[in-house]
Structure 1
Amino acid sequence: MLKIGEFSKLSRISIRLLRQYDDSGLLTPEVTDPFTGYRYYSEYQLPTANRITALKDMGFTQNAISEVLDCYDDPASLERCLRLKRAEALAALEEAERRLRLLDTALERLRKDETKMKYDVTVKTVPERTVASVRQIIPSYDREGDLWGIYCQETARMNIRDGDPALCTAVFHDGEYKESGVDVEIQKTVKGTYPDTEHVKFKTVPAVQVASATLRGSYQRMTEATEAVAAWVRENGWVFDGAAFWIYHISPHDTRNPDEFLTEVCYPVRKK
């Protein structure tokens, strides 16, 4: 039998943690002296201690470690547990990378001593046009590409002619920003008449008066353009009057370089 200090050295787990593991039932000493309270461990408990340390390093909580330890005699169950943890770690990594990109962008602007991009806001009329439309509730705004995928798949054999100009737009029908379950419609201007498919509907969109600003660069800067439009509307005696939409002049379909994206932010407006 090993005293707690000896077991601590061999397992490379602090005495404090060993006591904590004992209190939680994760790793109970082989024997606890009822008079002195001294804890004694068996050499046969070292593999379990090493597994606990390995699982802890993988990011498992103590409660989860206890459940995973029960799976060690069942390779299939153990694999499922490890794969679930791997997926969780991968999601956390992707989120961390997204935050790093945002931080790098902010730092790059500071290094260049950039000021906010200046936006010219104009009022114009987007003319009546015939469009191919796909409208669905999607999980989040960044899943808009799913709608374009549906459009491409269902119209691939229809020989659709592009309108002039061939506007590709996304309309955001919700009256608020939503974290999930967003109502988005994508539209592409077309020429001619075509039968509806399962998800693609052909329709005429009426002319609409909008206040617009054009953003060159990543969609991460979109709030700057929308702030400019909102300020212009407030300062010039207009009010918002309908669902906002974006016109993609240069999109990820055209280039993989976000700095080359060209997006027009359009808000339907009317005079007060």
Structure 2
Amino acid sequence: MLKIGDFSKLSRISIRMLRHYDEIGLLMPKNIDTFTAYRYYAEDQLPMAARIVALKDMGFSLSTITEILKSYENPQALAEYLAVKQSEVQAEAEETKRRLLLLDTAIKRLRKDETAMNYNVTVKTFPERYVASVRKVIPTYDQEGTLWSILMTETASLGMQLADNCNSLAMFHDDGYKETDVDVEVQMTVKGRYKNTENVVFKTEPAVQIASATYKGSYDQLTAVNQAVASWVQDNGYEFDGMMFCIYHVSPAQTQNPNDYVTEVCYSVKKK
């Protein structure tokens, strides 16, 4: 028989943890002296201790280790436990890799430009939505308001209901920036079903993965925000996969103070 200190040295498990394993029924001593309360372990418990250490090193929790040890002599059952843990560790590794890349690119951007973190970029899925849409070629971007006027005028008699958490957005269909004759579409998410009008089309838009940055203030910041999102996309292993659009969380329809506007600049993206 081995005293707890000797068993601790041989098993590479601390005395404190051996006592804890005893309390939870994971690895109990073969004998406890009734007078001194000393714990004694048998040499044939060392393989079990080694299994516990190996499973802990693989990342299993003590509760899971308890379950695994019940079927440890069954290679197939053990392989299934290990395969599940392998998938979890691989997913964690990918997440860690992603976070390291985010940190690395953020540090590099800050070293180049101290204002780089003024606009924080995130990747998310913009969900499928049913929208009222108006799309036209207009003279310049600052005349986007004419599209909104058409949308609101032509739907005024429809009793149109806005969707919960309604999004109002403008999509820019041209491949790049244009000085004139720009292809712009405005959309408003609605619920229910409606017939198209002369210029308003009702349709379901698919979900799309986007990189976006939300900022507060006037539209004068749009160029800077566009640059921030574009740089983030390039630095973090994504590529553009569709058009750019803006979601107007707080727009001139809600306030006349440009400092109170809240705009989300979005780019459709995919992983390289």
Question: What's the TM-score once normalised by structure 2's chain length?
Answer: 0.57
Q: SS state of the match for residue 242, structure 2?
A: coil
CA–CA distance in 1 between the matches of 2:124 and 2:169? Answer: 16
Q: Quick check: 1:243–1:268 contact (8 Å CA) kept in 2?
A: yes
Equivalences, count? 159
Equivalent residue, structure 1, for 2:210: 210
Q: Quick check: 2:130–2:204 contact (8 Å CA) kept in 1?
A: yes
Equivalent residue, structure 2, for 1:130: 130
Identity of aligned residues (%): 58
CA deviations on 1:87-107 (whole Å, 9 max, x unpaired) are xxxxxxxxxxxxxxxxxxxxx
Alpha-carbon RMSD across the aligned residues, in angstroms, is 1.3
CA–CA distance in 2 between the matches of 1:232 and 1:164? Answer: 31
Does residue 1:151 correspond to 2:151, yes or no? Answer: yes
Q: For residue 165 of structure 1, report the CA deviation from its aligned partner.
A: 1.7
Q: For residue 227 of structure 1, report the CA deviation from its aligned partner.
A: 1.1
Amino acid at match of 1:187: Q
CA deviations on 1:229-249 (whole Å, 9 max, x unpaired) are 111111101000101100000
Unaligned runs of 5+ in 2: 1-113
Does residue 1:181 correspond to 2:181, yes or no? Answer: yes
Equivalent residue, structure 1, for 2:32: none
Q: Quick check: 2:138–2:181 contact (8 Å CA) kept in 1?
A: yes
Q: For residue 116 of structure 1, report the CA deviation from its aligned partner.
A: 6.7
CA–CA distance in 1 between the matches of 2:117 and 2:136? Answer: 33
Q: For residue 215 of structure 1, report the CA deviation from its aligned partner.
A: 1.6
Q: Quick check: 1:215–1:222 contact (8 Å CA) kept in 2?
A: no
CA–CA distance in 1 between the matches of 2:244 and 2:237? Answer: 18
Equivalent residue, structure 2, for 1:163: 163
CA–CA distance in 2 between the matches of 1:245 and 1:156? Answer: 25
Equivalent residue, structure 1, for 2:221: 221
Q: SS state of the match for residue 197, structure 2?
A: coil
Amino acid at match of 1:190: V
Amino acid at match of 2:256: R
Q: For residue 115 of structure 1, report the CA deviation from its aligned partner.
A: 5.4
Unaligned runs of 5+ in 1: 1-113
Q: SS state of the match for residue 233, structure 1?
A: helix
Q: SS state of the match for residue 241, structure 1?
A: strand
Amino acid at match of 2:143: R
Amino acid at match of 1:121: V
Amino acid at match of 2:227: E
Q: Quick check: 1:166–1:189 contact (8 Å CA) kept in 2?
A: yes
Q: SS state of the match for residue 202, structure 2?
A: strand
Q: Quick check: 2:116–2:228 contact (8 Å CA) kept in 1?
A: no
CA–CA distance in 2 between the matches of 1:122 and 1:202? Answer: 29
CA–CA distance in 2 between the matches of 1:126 and 1:177? Answer: 23
